[in-house]
Amino acid sequence: MPVATTDSTSLAHARPRRPVHRAVVTGGAGFLGSHLCTALLDRGAEVVCLDSFLTGSPANVAHLLGRPGFHLQRCDLTDFVHVPGPVDLVLHLASPASPVDYLQLPIETLKVGSIGTAHALGLAKDKGARFLLASTSEVYGDPQVHPQPESYWGHVNPVGPRGVYDEAKRFAEAITTAYRSTHGVDTAIVRIFNTYGPRMRPRDGRAIPTFVRQALAGEPVTVAGTGEQTRSVCFVDDLVEGVLGLAASGHPGPMNIGNPEEMTVLRIAQDVIAATGSSSTVEHVGRPVDDPEVRRPDITLARTELGWEPRVAWADGLRRTVEWFAQELSVSA
């Protein structure tokens, strides 16, 4: 269980904050990307949203199409990327992110993590922009260190079914670091832990949207294994504040952004059933291969450097998520 001994800030000193007048968000029509586009617009920035719509959807940013300063562009990052005009910030979120997606799209996942990240970094280099890589807690794999600090190197099976996503993000971190040290690009790496909230796809395969969809339909809520494995879930509004805080800080990362409140998957399922008022019961199913046993971020660095920590309580975030899903599913029924 190797743990890095070098402080992440040794890559370069944090650079001073600067205003963001124009930002590019790759994967901006996805769940997290769409919330970041909204937050940037609310802060007065112009936003160029790039998305291939492989897993993202124009519906996620439909509410932004009439807003001044918002531009939606279909773009596959593994092809040539061109954004005219100045850019102050590149937020790179483009990637399949749920197990359902990356298990069906393994090559595409690896290509956007490698070629796509190189192209996004090249854009930031050409524009003299700050670059932020949306990495993931999955770089820690099925961790043998708990909770997970940024210094932990991880425990990943590179040839397992989840390896395509884990290793794509680990490569993305390596090339981001190389662009910083070799080309002087102002980069940051955020390691995002389990996040939930409105605009998740009901069938994206992750636990919370699956549980909510099943409970609202009165179906059995399917819990993998005994359900004693743990997750730490962060409401999307908190996550966005942390990501934009890191982008503004000049800190290079890696930096964990997530909620350190650890819960069993079984408790999450039971809370979803209660929050929906459903008559659903829990049904135990098989565990996926390489499914992590524990997951909890050490957010000491984010607290120290950004003054950030999650503020939305689980009960409140779950209520808001259930309300959104109930409306969305009733409209699509």
- Note whether 213 and 329 are within 8 A (CB): yes
Give me the catalytic one of 102, 152, 165, 179. 165
Beta strand 70-74 pairing with 46-51: parallel
β-strand partners of 231: 263
Neighbours of 62 (CB within 10 A): 12
Residues 6+ apart with CB under 8 A from 33: 25, 26, 27, 49, 51, 56, 60, 91, 93, 94
| 102 labelled catalytic | no
Residues 6+ apart with CB under 8 A from 72: 28, 29, 49, 51, 58, 61, 64, 65
Q: How far apart are CA 280 and CA 267, in angstroms?
A: 14
User: Look-up: residue for tokens 């939606």?
Assistant: 72
Q: How far apart are CA 24 and CA 135, in angstroms?
A: 17
Neighbours of 85 (CB within 10 A): 8
Catalytic residues, which ones?
165
